[in-house]
Amino acid sequence: VEASIPEPQRAAWLKHQVGGFKDKDGFESEVVRHVETTLARSMFNCDESAAYSAAALAFRDRLILEWNRTQQRQTYADSKRVYYLSLEFLMGRALDNAMLNIGQKDVARAGLAELGFRIEDVIEQEHDAALGNGGLGRLAACFLDSLASLNYPAWGYGLRYRYGIFKQEIIDGYQVEVPDYWLDFNPWEFPRHDIAVDIQFYGNVVKSTDESGKTIATWEGGETVKAVAYDMPIPGYATSTTNNLRLWSSKAASGEFDFQKFNSGEYESSVADQQRAETISAVLYPNDNLDRGKELRLKQQYFWVAASLYDIIRRFKKSKRPWEEFPDQVAIQLNDTHPTLAIVELQRILTDLEGLEWDEAWNIVTNTFGYTNHTVLPEALEKWSVPLIQHLLPRHLQIIYDINLEFLQTVERQFPNDRDILGRVSIIEETQPKMIRMAHLAIVGSHKVNGVAELHSDLIKTTIFKDFVEVFGPDKFTNVTNGITPRRWLHQANPRLSGLIAAKTGGHEFLSDLTLLNKLELHVDDKAFRKEWAEIKYANKVRLAKHIKATNGVTVNPSSLFDVQVKRIHEYKRQQMNIFGAIHRYLSLKAMTPEERKKQQPRVSIFGGKAAPGYWMAKQIIHLINNVGAVVNNDKDIGDLLKVIFIEDYNVSKAEMIIPASDLSEHISTAGTEASGTSNMKFVLNGGLIIGTCDGANIEITREIGENNIFLFGNLAEDVEDLRHTHTYGKHTVDPDLARVFEAIESGTFGNQEDFAGMITAVREHGDYYLVSDDFRSYLETHALVDEAYRDQEGWITKCITSVARMGFFSSDRCINEYAEEIWNVEPLKVDDE
């Protein structure tokens, strides 16, 4: 429907168009206006939370105007757009980011001060938007920032979960999950009640023949649920481009509730349909790197994918182009296999609804999609049971079978003498029940498949997707090493360091071109610069120490070496090895004379991260860390020499405080298991060093910053398989130092030994799948090297500065440009260009 204002009335519009605040005064009057009208408060009733709300609304108003201009410009230019489909967007807070990206933080600081508030306190009021689990979700958020900052016409599509990742509380050393209800007040979203799509589930397929004798399949009946759009503006840094993140919320298709039932007294069941529908987008599944195959999760995936495709196609149709031009106008990136049903849904729309021939449709589909793989862990690879898909999406199951049939026929022609390959590459796994391998479907339905770091991209080509390289050739598989946005992870998280770097590199240009950091190497010997560098690190550690005091009640000395491991708790990430190492350190210190102790490097071992609620071993690891802390932190012999801290509820905002305060961070996954890791990049960018395995992006970080600036240890990916074979199930001889640690745990030093039996058994009895014992010695030795290196403070600072100078490669801007050129074939489009 045409809804534009007729020419004669446009003058009135232009006259009254608002522009958003321009300066401090304008900002203040917007804040006061929002406090007094939008929030219905006054200067006698304005706390920090109200000040936050009003400041956020003032910025939101500005953003939405830029948003409108960007959308108008992109519609008018009608060039190719990118759609990033992700079930997770771990955005964190928006206000600070908005202020910095549009360059108005100083204005806001001064304005808020005049109105009686400290900007830092106001920023702290915001609840994190935590619609993700870990690295995968945060990567999507960094990508949105880069896409907007580089002026790419791009949209994110996701789900508007009512509950994001749970809030973690630590009670008596145990993790307790508390729901994260974050939508109470969210000024950053715009409900679009006019943009609603009906989504179908269940029902059955009816076949008929048309006049020409062609079979027509129609999907009929079943349940309908409404998808309502909520938009979040994504401001680019130092540009007018403000892109859109569209999140779908589920509602009952037929109004609020069933009035007939209500009137006839069936009050409860009258709301049941509504609740059933709203359940779809109610909650984020809290598993990281684990697939559980739940029906509701499949419903979420189809609901989101179908609504997004409907929206994308509606936009494409506005330009009245022929279908064959779809891949020239639309690039869709699948963030892991979660949105893979989009491949099937597009094929269904093109053939069943738009009447295209199968081959013509399939050509469009495969040229539209790109698939990013984020893990090789078998337990994380998605499979859906055939009966479940049959039940929920009967027509899609038929199409999947047809896709598979066509695919296997070409493979058979290609390898006529190899019967086994068919079974290995098939989209259907012939188990009981049969399973659909979503990664296989994603590969077959995309024109490019990429891994997220070099080692990972090589591994997928030589292990899990080996046969597909044979089938499609090597060019379909590529690598795009992950990156992070320097805006949030340096400028926002560490403003003083960002300022110092700006002073030495000629302004804040490096935030748009991170390779400019290399200018820092010229100043590595500059005394005053080094001094300020050290002071900034110290101040960041003081800030973290205050947080630890306030939340854990433990006093830590900011002069100690801060040794940090913050990430989701997972056996493959080996937090257990870290805490075993800390126990080893504790036992060694205890065994020393007071004289010997004086020579030791004081350390604070800092942990943080959530365990999936159903991941028993991960919860045991958290429990052990807390119990070790309770013993060590109160041991008078030890004092400042060792503290063990677990920081509750690790999230994006906590990361922004913790990362700038680290001296050493741990990225110690079993080689070959961590696809990339992205916090490793954040820590180095903030002037901290790494202890890590030769895994994921650690390898490329080493190549960029130099082997002398990183503490690598442990077995290599290529040796892991063989090592596992040497482990005898039932009686594995563990490293003697590790055995001493186990003895201490088993003698009850850290509480009831039975609470930790599982962690020990996994190593000693169950084959030590993650090679904790194999790597323990070299881990301890490398930590000894770290202590030695840290004692030489000047040498340490040189390593830190040099590393930061060489981190330019890890900007998500570089990463997004690679996707744009090698996978999407899209060009930037500046809002102000005519």
User: Measured between alpha carbons, how far is 543 from 661 in angstroms, rounded to an integer?
Assistant: 8
Sole window of 295-303, 439-447, 674-682, 739-747 interacting with ligand NBG (rule: CB under 6 A): 674-682
Q: How far is the CB of 374 from ligand NBG (least distance, A)?
A: 3
- Of 134 and 609, nearer to ligand NBG (C-beta) is 134
Q: How far is the CB of 137 from ligand NBG (least distance, A)?
A: 8
Whether residue 573 lies in the annotated active site? yes
Report if residue 651 touches ligand NBG, rule: CB under 6 A: no
Q: How far is the CB of 786 from ligand NBG (least distance, A)?
A: 23
Sole window of 119-127, 269-277, 669-677, 786-794 interacting with ligand NBG (rule: CB under 6 A): 669-677
Residue from 682, 727, 764, 806 carrying the catalytic annotation: 682
- 452 and 484 in contact (C-beta within 8 Å)? no
User: Measured between alpha carbons, how far is 54 from 37 in angstroms, rounded to an integer?
Assistant: 10
User: Measured between alpha carbons, how far is 46 from 356 in angstroms, rounded to an integer?
Assistant: 60
Nearest to residue 663, comparing CAs of 808, 807, 487, 799? 799
- Of 227 and 459, nearer to ligand NBG (C-beta) is 459
Q: Which two three-digit tokens encode residue 76?
A: 């008018």
Q: How far is the CB of 190 from ligand NBG (least distance, A)?
A: 28
Residue 733 contacts by C-beta under 8 Å, 6 or more apart in sequence? none
The amino acid at 516: L
- The number of C-alpha atoms within 13 Å of 106 and in the hemisphere containing its C-beta is 2
Sole window of 363-371, 423-431, 658-666, 670-678 interacting with ligand NBG (rule: CB under 6 A): 670-678
Q: Which of 486, 696, 714, 808 binds ligand NBG (CB under 6 A)?
A: 696
Residue 318 contacts by C-beta under 8 Å, 6 or more apart in sequence? 75
The angle at the Cα of 10, spanning 4 to 16, to the nearest 5 degrees, equals: 115
Sole window of 374-382, 395-403, 757-765, 799-807 interacting with ligand NBG (rule: CB under 6 A): 374-382
- Of 100 and 139, nearer to ligand NBG (C-beta) is 139
Q: Which two three-digit tokens encode residue 810?
A: 């890890």
Residue from 338, 567, 570, 783 carrying the catalytic annotation: 567
Distances (CA, A) of 260 to 4, 263, 271, 636: 39, 5, 11, 72
Binding mask 4-23 for ligand NBG (x = CB under 6 A): --------------------
- 653 and 165 in contact (C-beta within 8 Å)? no
Burial class (CB in 10 A: 0-12, 13-18, 19+), 213: exposed
- Of 151 and 450, nearer to ligand NBG (C-beta) is 450
Q: How far is the CB of 101 from ligand NBG (least distance, A)?
A: 23
Whether residue 504 lies in the annotated active site? no
Sole window of 132-140, 298-306, 355-363, 699-707 interacting with ligand NBG (rule: CB under 6 A): 132-140
Q: Which two three-digit tokens encode residue 538?
A: 């110290």
- Of 377 and 421, nearer to ligand NBG (C-beta) is 377
DSSP per position, 479-499: E----B-HIIIIIIT-HHHHH
- Of 239 and 375, nearer to ligand NBG (C-beta) is 375
Q: Which of 63, 98, 136, 797 binds ligand NBG (CB under 6 A)?
A: 136
Sole window of 1-9, 135-143, 381-389, 795-803 interacting with ligand NBG (rule: CB under 6 A): 135-143
- 577 and 779 in contact (C-beta within 8 Å)? yes
Burial class (CB in 10 A: 0-12, 13-18, 19+), 637: exposed
Report if residue 374 touches ligand NBG, rule: CB under 6 A: yes
Q: How far is the CB of 769 from ligand NBG (least distance, A)?
A: 17
- Of 288 and 345, nearer to ligand NBG (C-beta) is 288
Sole window of 134-142, 204-212, 748-756, 760-768 interacting with ligand NBG (rule: CB under 6 A): 134-142
Report if residue 675 touches ligand NBG, rule: CB under 6 A: yes
- 714 and 778 in contact (C-beta within 8 Å)? yes
User: Measured between alpha carbons, how far is 393 from 399 in angstroms, rounded to an integer?
Assistant: 10
Strands (E), 48-107: 81-85, 89-92
Whether residue 531 lies in the annotated active site? no
Q: Which of 91, 130, 139, 159 binds ligand NBG (CB under 6 A)?
A: 139
Report if residue 164 touches ligand NBG, rule: CB under 6 A: no
Strand-strand pairing, 223-235 and 190-201: antiparallel
Which residue is it, tokens 């290599």? Answer: 716
Q: Which residues pair with 177 in a beta bridge?
A: 168
Binding mask 78-117 for ligand NBG (x = CB under 6 A): ----------------------------------------
Residue from 568, 574, 623, 654 carrying the catalytic annotation: 568
* H-type alpha helices, 670-735: 679-685, 698-705, 717-726
DSSP per position, 515-573: GGGGGGGGGTT-HHHHHHHHHHHHHHHHHHHHHHHHHH-----TTSEEEEEES---GGG
Q: How far is the CB of 109 from ligand NBG (least distance, A)?
A: 34
Residues numbered 172-231 forming contacts with ligand NBG, rule: CB under 6 A: none
Return the SS3 of 711.
strand
Sole window of 133-141, 198-206, 646-654, 766-774 interacting with ligand NBG (rule: CB under 6 A): 133-141
Binding mask 431-470 for ligand NBG (x = CB under 6 A): ---------------------x------------------
- Of 28 and 288, nearer to ligand NBG (C-beta) is 288
Percentages of the chain per state (helix, strand, coil), in multiples of 5: 55, 15, 30
Report if residue 676 touches ligand NBG, rule: CB under 6 A: yes
Distances (CA, A) of 277 to 86, 200, 237, 798: 21, 11, 38, 58
Cβ atoms within 10 Å, residue 154:
29
Query: What sign does the CA torsion over 491, 492, 493, 499 have?
Result: positive
Residue from 242, 368, 505, 678 carrying the catalytic annotation: 678
- Of 288 and 774, nearer to ligand NBG (C-beta) is 288
Q: How far is the CB of 675 from ligand NBG (least distance, A)?
A: 4
- Of 135 and 339, nearer to ligand NBG (C-beta) is 135
Q: How far is the CB of 383 from ligand NBG (least distance, A)?
A: 14
Q: Which of 53, 482, 498, 575 binds ligand NBG (CB under 6 A)?
A: 482
Instruction: With both helix axes pointing from N to C terminus, report the angle between 772-791 and 736-746 in degrees, rounded to the nearest 10.
Output: 100
- φ, ψ of residue 806 to 5 degrees: the values are -105, 15
Report if residue 289 touches ligand NBG, rule: CB under 6 A: yes
Q: How far is the CB of 134 from ligand NBG (least distance, A)?
A: 6
- Of 189 and 336, nearer to ligand NBG (C-beta) is 336
DSSP per position, 609-620: -PPPTT-HHHHH
User: Measured between alpha carbons, how far is 182 from 131 in angstroms, rounded to an integer?
Assistant: 10
Instruction: Give the interface size with ligand NBG as a residue count (CB under 6 A).
Output: 18
Q: How far is the CB of 572 from ligand NBG (least distance, A)?
A: 9
Residue from 73, 80, 167, 374 carrying the catalytic annotation: 374
Binding mask 320-359 for ligand NBG (x = CB under 6 A): ----------------x-----------------------
- Of 235 and 677, nearer to ligand NBG (C-beta) is 677
Residue from 448, 573, 585, 623 carrying the catalytic annotation: 573
The angle at the Cα of 124, spanning 111 to 658, to the nearest 5 degrees, equals: 125
- φ, ψ of residue 165 to 5 degrees: the values are -60, 140
- Of 125 and 289, nearer to ligand NBG (C-beta) is 289
Whether residue 448 lies in the annotated active site? no
Enumerate binding residues for ligand NBG (CB under 6 A).
134-136, 139, 288-289, 336, 374-375, 380, 452, 482, 674-678, 696
Q: Give the catalytic positions in this structure.
A: 374, 567-568, 573, 678, 682
